[in-house]
Structure 1
Amino acid sequence: MPHCYTALEELIYTFGGPWLFGLLLSGLLILLALVLSVARMKFAGTDELPGPAPTQQGSQIDHSFPFLESLNEVLETNRAEESHGHVHRMYFMGPNTFSEPWHLPHTPAEQITEIVYEDAFNRFVDEINTLAAYQWWEGSIYSILCILAYPLAWSWQQWRRRKKLQRLREFVRSEYDHSCLRSCRSRALYEGLKVTATPDLMLGYLDFFLGGDEKRPDLPPRLRQRFPMSLIFGGDGSYMAPFSLHSDSVLTSLMSQAVQPWIWHRLVAGLNAQLRLVRRGNLKATFLPVLNWLETHADPALGVNGVRVDLAWFQATALGYCQLGLVVYTVEGEPVTAELDGSPRIKIEQHSLVQDMLADAQLSRSRIKDVFMRKRITGGILDSTTLRTLIDRRDFLYPFSLILHNSKPVGHQVCLCYHFSL
């Protein structure tokens, strides 16, 4: 009886048998992965390059490249001017997903009520929220890919997020007439508003800048006038998007008014290293080391300058999603002295800070809630006690993850008994 081959077997033996066919198929898959990786880097990149890294104190510029030195000076000047006119940063609500896209609250924050028209601002928010919403077919494709090929679903979501961010930037930069701003110069030059996002594209924010014709001596506010200031984490605690604090040039320039830049950069790097260990689905336990690190490392380093940071939650949405981050505020009771240049600076002796830090921190925490209500900030401070009440959202794969993390290997108990019997 003749041996009949199936269509797949005929294809395999046409290319020299199973082994040679397997090698050819593996090489083809590797080549396809390389091509897709190059295409993703070339066509799916962001439309703006990241800013240059801050110059370390004491570092020297290579004078053999005069053009690079001049360009660096121009970029540093532009960044300094941009941060000098910064008034407020408004964070988008929502994780930028298909089921819960970005959206802005209609009520303007207290910090921008003097530079915007409330009616025009509400119309601007309506337009932004409409553009930030996703179409139904985008979420449908994502749901199908989650079942068939999850890595493709994640790539699809990131691609649509990037397109959405580019669309919002284009609208604010060139299409919107900036009619919500009181500054005539900002309306004429289409300046004063800027949409930015973290590298993971999950956290977006809208920055407000002065136009230059406000004639207000109290604008822009100094750093200590902005306290308590919220710094929201990007990411969601997953493997692909861990929690992280993104410190751009504006935030770094603001914090340099109270903290030396190298201290702030080290704090952000250390905090991000701790946040990478925070796991979604187990936030109550994995955030405890972060709280301990803030108490033992961050607060002593910042307390010398009269600044303290605490873990907090912000902006709970209708679907129950709340953003996590830091609240930065000043420690009560430190003396303020005026220097010759006219800029106030906090001077605290190290020994007095160590003695009074705990009492001052408790007094400041008791006033944070009242300040949150006055500044229309929805949120609260998280400590070892209130962290237990944090609601941790779980996905549909949580039962499988729970079994995987809490089950013992087969034969574990038998091997253990055999070891003690020896």
Structure 2
Amino acid sequence: MYEKALVLSHNNFTATEWEVPQIKSDKEYGIIEIEESKKYINNEKLNEFRLNRFEEYKKIGFPKWKRAKLNGFDPLPYRPKINSLISENLKSLNDLDDEGILILKDMDFDGSHRKFLLMSDIFFNSGFYLKTSNKQENEIYTVETIIDKDNPLYDLGIINLEENSKATLIRFVKSNGNSSKIASLRGKLKKNSELTIININLFNNDISTDNIFFDIGENAKLTMYDINIGGKVNAPHIVIRMANKEGNVNIYPYYLTQDEEIIDMFYLIRYYAPKTFGHILGHGVLMDSSRVIFRGNLDIKKGAKDADAGEQDFNLILSDKARVMAYPSLYVDENDVNAGHAASIGSIEEEQLYYMMTRGYSKSEAKKEIASGIFEPAISFVEQYNSKIVGELRDVIQKRFDREFSNS
């Protein structure tokens, strides 16, 4: 089952697909790097999967992205293992069973670019397997990774939720200097299961892409907070497939940029089955000369009667040089649905400042409170599960706003 990001055919009409320019790298990985990683990966079926993927990988170059200003990609020197802090209740990729391998094979998609998806599938140096038991009560799983300078992270995650089970997963990545993160995550939610996932990506002059694909079972529920702070080029790419009735999905993107950082986000919810519910609600703050591209696609297929699809994106811009490009898209092939989308871009209003200043805040303090308040719902949500991680998240956000408003 290959889930394309864009479906370019409708009835008897087919659109022309744009070919992203590709650039070959002299620092490309190969069989040597695969053999290096085998020191840590001894799962025979997983290694067989990697070698099959490698045949396709060799034929593709790295992308040249105009909007995100990426001119190809030169991988950093390979590290076969990155020491992530993984909670004990998570399995390693060496413990990946036949069901996990099947998820890898069957849940195929493009990702932000096919080359990057294949790279994490083949050369992963960190990863996990989350598998619940039937009727399991909610259990919290964490994966924390601090990437050192000049180290590349290639992360592979597989989630397999059994029927009537619940789980919460926190993926936390923070970089110390120039590095890169290329990750992929696939998850299958079976009937009546519930997953809460919190992605926190804190970057500093790095390149990052996070390719995520979830398949939602009957009456299954997914809640996702996708928090991206910074990054030279940061490209989260999330695809949700709802092929079973009464699936329920809520995605909450939060993002904060400064300097010349670029975040190019893509969120797709595809509705195949009746009575499915899928909403995206994004919030972001932009500073300096940073840029955000927000692409949200709601794709309702024929047969998804009574689907409920919604998308909203709210942006606060703190600089005349910052730019937001919002592309909310709605595709509807079914009549009996409830669907809508909206996007807004604005600055801090004088009425808000006046209200805060009459209550004792200085002008700069008022601006900081208003801007940081946008992230409070996400911070409060994370705080329920991990106070240490939320402390780091809050610290990074506050440091960025301290710098922004110190001279106001």
Length-normalised TM-score, structure 2: 0.23
State the structure with bigger RCO (CA 8 A, min sep 6), 1 or 2. 1
- Larger Rg over CA atoms: 1
Length-normalised TM-score, structure 1: 0.23
Structure with the higher fraction of residues in helix conformation: 1
